[in-house]
């Protein structure tokens, strides 16, 4: 690709991202996947180092936002909501809304295997872009970008009973990663009719992802979904 074509692509990338770079080489690096590296020692040409930096900038920006907006929240609640806001699913969805996959440079084999739409590549690349903005424009610009691209996700989490809707978060995660949603089943109901305790399992395919109990089926489902999220991603 000649310099003029590259310059045009980077100009379009800045327009799509809504950020103007002083040093467009940082943006070019952020949009370069490691599959293009011909030598493993040439790590500075791809976006992994920027991803490392962007991950920290992203975490600080969201942590500060939540800390200032919710002065009565405990450390545990802040941690939980922050984790949901900066999860791979959240970042991947934000990257798709930005059409970030269209901007990435990667090897043909990676592209043919679905790399431009792969959640892990999109989320990593968004972190790399955040790192590039931080280096080029500073923390204020990086924070503004983070809060803009995650605004919808943050609003949704806050509206879901301040981060307590584990069922919705789990459903989004499994839908994104496995193209299906979990189901719930009662495995135990005990106690008098007016004061029952329910034990529920949440299942994906033939795998039990989590188990929870509660005074209502809904509460038990939320507890099961929470355990599933804390355990991490199930096997494909």
- Work out the pLDDT band at 162, boundaries 50, 70, 90: low
81 shares its domain with 146: yes
87 part of a folded domain:
yes
109 shares its domain with 200: no
pLDDT at 111: 85
132 shares its domain with 206: no
For residue 213, the domain's CATH number is 3.30.160.20
Place of tokens 């679905």: 114
Give how many domains the chain has, as a whole number: 2
Residue 204: strand, helix, or coil? strand
Question: In the listed set 102, 134, 159, which residue is the last one of a domain according to the structure?
Answer: 159
CB 52 within 8 A of CB 161: no
70 shares its domain with 152: yes
Percent of the chain with pLDDT over 90: 52
The Cβ-side half-sphere exposure at 139, using a 13 Å CA radius, reads 7
Over range 109-125, report the average pLDDT. Answer: 89
236 part of a folded domain:
no
Place of tokens 């005074």: 215
98 part of a folded domain:
yes
- Work out the pLDDT band at 3, boundaries 50, 70, 90: low
200 part of a folded domain:
yes
Would you say residue 2 has pLDDT above 50? no
Cα separations in angstroms, 116 against 41, 59, 66, 96: 24, 24, 31, 10
The H or E element that residue 127 is part of is: helix 119-137
8 shares its domain with 55: yes
Please pick, among 39, 42, 51, 55, the residue that the annotation labels catalytic.
Answer: 55
CB 173 within 8 A of CB 229: yes
151 part of a folded domain:
yes
- Pairing label, strands 197-204, 183-190: antiparallel
131 shares its domain with 37: yes
Q: Print burial letters for 148-181: b (CB count within 10 Å at least 16), e (below 16).
A: ebbeebbebbeebeebebbbbbbbbbbebbeeee
CB 82 within 8 A of CB 67: no
For residue 86, the domain's CATH number is 1.10.1520.10
CB 47 within 8 A of CB 33: yes
The Cβ-side half-sphere exposure at 176, using a 13 Å CA radius, reads 22
Higher per-residue pLDDT: 213 or 168: 213
Would you say residue 22 has pLDDT above 60? yes
155 shares its domain with 183: no
Please pick, among 127, 136, 201, 221, the residue that the annotation labels catalytic.
Answer: 127
Over range 121-125, report the average pLDDT. Answer: 94
Is residue 39 part of the annotated active site? The answer reads no
Question: In the listed set 134, 159, 184, which residue is the last one of a domain according to the structure?
Answer: 159
CA-CA distance, 120 to 132, in Å (whole number)? 18
45 shares its domain with 67: yes
Backbone angles phi, psi at 105, to 5 degrees: -105, 125
76 part of a folded domain:
yes
CA-CA distance, 53 to 132, in Å (whole number)? 8
100 shares its domain with 140: yes
Mean model confidence pLDDT for the chain: 87
Is residue 136 part of the annotated active site? The answer reads no
CA-CA distance, 105 to 25, in Å (whole number)? 13
Question: In the listed set 127, 159, 191, which residue is the last one of a domain according to the structure?
Answer: 159
168 part of a folded domain:
no
- In this predicted model, what pLDDT tens digit does every residue of 171-195 receive, in sequence order? 888 888 888 999 999 999 988 887 8
166 part of a folded domain:
no
Q: Is the dihedral of CA 146, 147, 152, 153 positive or negative?
A: positive
Containing structural domain, residue 141: 3-159
């Amino acid at each position: 690709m000649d310099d003029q074509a590259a310059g045009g692509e980077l100009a379009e990338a800045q327009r799509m991202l809504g950020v103007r770079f002083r040093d467009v080489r940082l943006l070019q690096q952020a949009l370069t996947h490691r599959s293009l590296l011909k030598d493993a020692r040439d790590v500075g040409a791809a976006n992994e180092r920027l991803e490392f930096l962007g991950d920290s900038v992203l975490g600080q920006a969201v942590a500060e936002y939540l800390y200032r907006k919710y002065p009565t929240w405990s450390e545990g609640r802040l941690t939980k909501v922050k984790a949901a806001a900066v999860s791979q699913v959240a970042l991947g969805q934000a990257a798709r809304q930005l059409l970030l996959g269209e901007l990435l440079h990667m090897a043909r084999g990676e592209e043919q295997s679905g790399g431009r739409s792969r959640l892990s590549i999109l989320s990593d690349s968004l972190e790399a872009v955040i790192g590039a903005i931080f280096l080029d424009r500073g923390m204020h610009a990086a924070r503004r970008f983070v809060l803009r691209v995650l605004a919808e996700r943050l609003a949704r989490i806050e509206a879901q009973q301040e981060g307590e809707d584990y069922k919705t978060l789990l459903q989004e995660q499994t839908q994104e990663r496995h193209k299906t949603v979990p189901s719930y089943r009662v495995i135990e109901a005990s106690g008098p009719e007016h004061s029952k305790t329910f034990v529920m399992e949440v299942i994906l395919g033939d795998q039990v992802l989590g188990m929870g109990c509660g005074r209502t089926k809904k509460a038990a489902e939320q507890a099961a979904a929470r355990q599933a999220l804390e355990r991490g991603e199930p096997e494909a």
